[in-house]
Amino acid sequence: MVKLLLETGKVEVDSKDRWFSQMPLSWAAKGGHEAMVKLLLETGKVRANSKDGQAGRTLLSWAAEGGHEAVVKLLQ
């Protein structure tokens, strides 16, 4: 489903939510959602070295803290 939405080109993958100032890639990395991280990175519209809006931490640091090794590899 997400892949289909991304293919429309109408999804703003770099938009931030209003409560935590997080992008979809932030949530995916923190949650260890490898497939979602890969899909979002493949759009070319988000950067793997982005920092989140809440704590200014990198997505890599969040993924590493959560023990999400596959996501860490994608973000390196």
Residue 49, domain CATH: 1.25.40.20
Name the domain count of the chain.
Answer: 1
Q: Is 4 part of a structural domain of the chain?
A: no
What does the alpha-carbon distance between residue 64 and residue 43 come to, in Å, rounded to a whole number? Answer: 23
Report yes or no on whether pTM surpasses 0.75.
Answer: yes
For the chain, give the percent of residues with pLDDT over 70. Answer: 99
3 pLDDT above the threshold of 90: no
Q: Is 1 part of a structural domain of the chain?
A: no
Q: Is 43 part of a structural domain of the chain?
A: yes
State the virtual CA torsion across 31, 3, 8, 42 in degrees, nearest 10: 70
Q: Is 8 part of a structural domain of the chain?
A: no
Domain hosting 33: range is 20-75
**Residue where the block lists tokens 């997080």:** 22
Q: For residue 51, what pLDDT band results from cuts at 50, 70 and 90?
A: confident
State the virtual CA torsion across 38, 33, 54, 42 in degrees, nearest 10: 10
For the chain, give the percent of residues with pLDDT over 90. Answer: 50
Q: Is 9 part of a structural domain of the chain?
A: no
Q: Is 50 part of a structural domain of the chain?
A: yes
3-state SS class at 69 = helix
Q: Is 46 part of a structural domain of the chain?
A: yes
Beta bridge partners of 51: 58
What is the pLDDT, as a whole number, of residue 49?
87
